[in-house]
Structure 1
Amino acid sequence: MSKRSLKQALAQGEFVAAPGIHDMITAVISNKVGLDFAYASGFWMTASAFGLPDAGIATYTQMLDRVATLVRTVDASVIADADTGYGGLLNVHHTVRGYEEAGVVAIQIEDQEFPKKCGHTPFKRVVPTLDMVEKIRVACAARRNPETLIIARTDARQTDGFEGAMRRAEAYAEAGADIVFPEAMESEAEMRESCRRLNKPVMANMADGGKTPIRSAAELKAMGYAMAIYPSMTGLAAAAAVESALTMFKATGTSESPDVPLFNFGAFNHLIGFDDVWAFERKWARGTPDNA
Structure 2
Amino acid sequence: MLYSTRTASEKRRLLRERLASGELLQFPGAFTPLSTALIQQKGFDGVYVSGAVVSAELGLPDIGLTTLSEVAGRAQQIARMTDLPALVDADTGFGEPMNVARTVQTLEDAGVAGLHIEDQVNPKRCGHLDGKAVVDADTAVKRIRAAADARRDPDLLIMARTDIRALDGLAAAVDRAKQLVDAGADAIFPEAMADLAEFEAICSAVDVPVLANMTEFGKSELFTTQQLADAGVRIVIYPVTLLRLAMGAVERGLDELRASGTQAATVPDMLTRKRLYELIDYSGYTAFDSAVFDFEVPGAH
Please confirm whether the aligned pair reaches a TM-score higher than 0.5, indicating the same fold.
Answer: yes
Q: Distance in 1 between matches of 2:166 and 2:36?
A: 33
Shift of 1:9: 0.6
Moved more, 203-212 or 249-258: 249-258
What TM-score results when the alignment is normalised by the length of structure 1? 0.91
Is the contact between residue 23 and residue 45 of structure 1 (CA under 8 Å) also seen in structure 2? no
Out of 207, 210, 214, the residue aligned to residue 206 of structure 1 is 214
Matches within 5 A, 1:141-156: 141-156=149-164
Pairwise CA distance, 1:270: 3.7
Distance between the aligned counterparts of 1:37 and 1:31, measured in 2?
8
Note the alpha carbon deviations across 1:131-176, whole angstroms, 9 max, x for none: 1111111111111112111100001112222222221111101111
Long gaps (5+) in structure 2: 297-301
Residue from 204, 221, 226 that aligns with 2:234: 226
What is the rounded CA distance, in whole Å, between the counterparts of 1:62 and 1:268 in structure 2?
27
Equivalence for 2:42: 33
What is the CA deviation profile of residues 22-72 of structure 1, one whole-angstrom value per residue up to 9, with x for unaligned ones?
Answer: 122312322432333111100012212x11111100001111111111112
| Shift, 1:267, TM fit | 2.5
Percent of counterpart pairs with the same letter? 36
Is the Cα contact below 8 Å between 1:149 and 1:179 reproduced in 2? yes
Gaps of 5+ in 1: none
Within the alignment, does 1:122 sit opposite 2:111 as a pair? no
SS of the residue aligned with 2:63? coil
CA contact (8 A) 1:68 1:102 kept: yes
Structure 2 match to 1:10: 19
Counterpart contact for 1:245–1:260, Cα < 8 Å: no
Pick from 53, 58, 83: which aligns with 2:61? 53
Distance 2:76 2:293 in 1: 31
Query: 1-side partners of 2:266 and 2:107: how far apart?
Result: 43
Cα gap change, 1:251 to 1:199, in 2 (>3 Å): same
RMSD: 2.2
Give the drift of 1:284.
Answer: 4.6
Distance across 2 between alignment mates of 1:192 and 1:281: 54
Mapped to 2, the partners of 1:97 and 1:66 lie a distance apart of: 15
Between the two proteins, the alignment pairs up a number of residues equal to 287
**3-state SS of paired residue (1:73):** coil
- State the distance in 1 between where 2:240 and 2:23 align: 23
Distance 1:108 1:77 in 2: 14
Q: Match of 2:100?
A: 92
